[in-house]
Amino acid sequence: MGLTVNERIKELDIQAQYYANEQNDKHGVSWIRTYKEKFAELIVQECATLMAEQKKYYADPGKYETMEYYARMEAKEDAFSDAEVIIKQHFGVES
């Protein structure tokens, strides 16, 4: 069975291609290097964005029923916030 690429990856691929084309046209830089760097950056940014969205979900006080539940969800919110920063730092992607 072959691997399939989801639509979001295809969208990021196209964004990276457009960016590489622009940079190549403006500055004469290596297209493939620019494309690879931008594509990787976009994937990392997507991962960080997913963590930020999860953080917002767990930060909604309307979802909490008890103080114990609130404490567990607050810990998860912190973990997602940390994950967002860690992912970006690990791959050298700025916000």
pLDDT at 22: 93
- Of 39, 40, 45, residue with least CA distance to 14: 39
Helices 67-91/31-59 angle, 10° precision: 170
User: What are the CA-CA distances from residue 5 to residues 2, 22, 23, 58 (Å)?
Assistant: 10, 25, 26, 29
Q: How far is CA 64 from the centre of its chain?
A: 27
Q: Return the percentage of the chain with pLDDT > 70, whole number.
A: 73
Strand, coil or helix: 29: coil
pTM of the model: 0.66
Query: What is the pLDDT averaged over residues 67-95?
Result: 72
Q: 8: which residues sit within 8 A by CB, 6+ positions away?
A: 46
- Of 93, 7, 5, 6, residue with least CA distance to 44: 93
- Whether the per-residue pLDDT at 1 is higher than 60: the answer is no
| Owner of token pair 């050298």 | 92
pLDDT at 86: 79
- Whether the per-residue pLDDT at 59 is higher than 80: the answer is no
